[in-house]
Chains A and B, each alone.
Chain A
């Protein structure tokens, strides 16, 4: 048996060499433009990866139904990176070298994006990431080919701090999930808070798999801050909300945009009444004033997502769709299927009304959104309600 497995391994090696050498042709069948997608479809981050893929798919289908890119259809080549950084890098290589994609959307989070940066720079193919951390697009001199669609965490932190300062709150507690997302939020908020006169009096962490955070919340309660900032993802955000209600925590709770849509509201229910969230406009799309430039697009997006997938889209899924929209725009504006031209066109995207905001990409800013694309919402009676002012 052992030597049979060894024979199998040799066969596998030969197959791999053969298969890799017979790479797919550069252009897709019928002249399609190939876009590679490298996302977390399984593993701990799949709660975001799958919705992001849906959003990308929706936008791609929409583009194809309206004539494609100068008649050519967009073809998605999708690989699961299993929430693993190494797999993400291997996927990127497969997409670029075997499938000859014109651009790659991925990873869905920061840890799966960072390993790709050096490679995409040397391969000279544009990468649009759905990760939230600042280092993805900075320092700009080393990120010619890398873009990202979510707000930088520094901007979200700024919006949170600004909101708290406006409410005349000065002492805050901070609780975050113990992964890259929470860590990035912690760093950015710690840096931003002093500039708005805020003092972090207690800072706690919890694991993504924890079922109970009463211990951490008790410590926060004892430190007596006026507000509590929560930087986490589902299901942790719901658990924080529920436990906070259970302990009758007097603090105002402010969540970062990772809090989640249905997952958060369903579990937290009454416990979440009164909490605030800093988010893009998607959770409150129906409440936007008529003159909001995003209103029409978002209304259509929410309706389509709902009818296709039977649940409301959340802010995180939209980053995928935005990445696809940025690419489609760059391709239509002269990028075609040429990676280098697409990259150049991406940097010229101006006032693109999209799902998470209005994108203005420049050579210095490969993210493109501003703090004005964020809103504050408050949870009441089963849904998020837009709060006027910021």
Chain B
């Protein structure tokens, strides 16, 4: 199993390195979006896979990261410092939200993150004088390295995938460390883990904050790449999609969510391209609706094929 996984990863890395040399703006740009999603999904994967908690606010953390970065940069901060500043804001928020919620048994983190996501969305919409409200915000400078302005697909391709690589390596290292073992123990049984001396609350809080930081970084990159942000990109639906990417690719490994993001975004694009070219323009409204139906059905089918969840299927395989 490990060899197959490593082979997949090697092929994927080789392909990813090759892409910028193809000089195809569409493909490169698409994979920038994949990388941004993959970064947030990797963070979420740590929380879901290692700690066993479901967050429905990952996109909200992306949004806070994006807006904090854009606002700081728009008010004179150095762009890179703005990214770090945004990360700090998100760490603080995640700590404040996670600390009281994670002490409760049951799915209260999930509910609290559901509420957090909505509250963040409303806050971004309402703080109109500052954030531009529903009309969005674009008044901030670009990312620079020295005097060189980062623009276009290739620089962000490199930046985003580098960050993904760092996140994956970091995640793998964490999972292999004593922290990772503690998280897995907690995920299996909190009571048992606590009884052998694991600091349940501390470990879960760490995982939650780390996953939020990954989301914040993803949001910051998004803000500079697109050059314009609005609250609709960071709502509940996007949080759900990130969750799907995690579960699709496999939450218990560090690389799983990356594969999930690749599959999710590329499958969507392929479907769009097919729909647009195979059917006449008069049928496109129906095609759009059919794609939505197909997406819903695929979600159901894929999840049903793994009725005991990804971890369950994996354990089954390994046990044989």
Binding site for B on A (CB under 8 A): 1-3, 5-10, 12-17, 19-21, 23-24, 37, 41-42, 50, 53, 57, 60, 75-80, 82-86, 89-91, 93-94, 96-98, 110-111, 114-115, 117-118, 122-123, 133, 135, 178-180, 182-184, 187
Contacts and interface: CB of A to CB of B under 8 A. Distances in A.
Nearest to A93: B26
Interface in B1-19: 1, 4-5, 8-9, 11-12, 15-16, 18-19
Given A3-B1, A6-B5, A94-B26, A111 B227 contact: no
A273 to B, nearest CB: 31
Contacts of B16: 13
B1 to A, nearest CB: 6
A9 B260 contact: yes
19 contacts: A2-B252, A2-B256, A6-B4, A6-B8, A9-B8, A9-B249, A10-B8, A10-B12, A10-B259, A10-B262, A17-B22, A21-B27, A85-B226, A90-B29, A111-B232, A133-B135, A178-B134, A179-B134, A187-B135
B228 A122 contact: no
In this complex, the member of B11, B270, B284 whose beta carbon has the largest number of chain A beta carbons within 10 angstroms is B284
Interface of B: 1, 4-5, 8-9, 11-12, 15-16, 18-19, 22, 24-27, 29-30, 33, 125, 128, 133-136, 138, 151-152, 222, 226-228, 230, 232-233, 248-250, 252-253, 255-256, 259-260, 262-263, 266-267, 269-270, 272-273, 276-277, 281-282, 284-285, 287-289, 291-292, 305-306, 310, 313-314, 317
B138 A114 contact: yes
A183 B262 contact: no
Contact of B135 (A19, A78, A110): A110
B269 to A, nearest CB: 7
A20 B29 CA distance: 12
Given A5-B250, A135-B138, 4 more contacts: A1-B317, A6-B8, A178-B125, A180-B134
A82 B269 CA distance: 12
Given A6-B250, A41-B284, A94 B135 contact: no
B27 A16 contact: yes
A85 B5 CA distance: 34
In this complex, the member of B128, B152, B272, B281 whose beta carbon has the largest number of chain A beta carbons within 10 angstroms is B281
Contact of B232 (A41, A84, A135): A84
Contacts of A83: 232
In this complex, the member of A2, A78, A94, A97 whose beta carbon has the largest number of chain B beta carbons within 10 angstroms is A2
Nearest to A41: B288
Contacts of B306: 1
B125 A6 contact: no
Contacts, number: 192
B122 to A, nearest CB: 9
B266 A115 contact: no
A79 B152 CA distance: 23
The prevalent SS among residues of A at the interface is helix
A98 B22 CA distance: 13
Nearest to A78: B284
B281 A115 contact: no
A114 B228 contact: yes
Contact of A42 (B226, B260, B289, B314): B289
B276 to A, nearest CB: 5
Contacts of B313: 1-2
Contacts of B284: 37, 41, 53, 78, 80
B133 A86 contact: no
Contacts of A50: 285
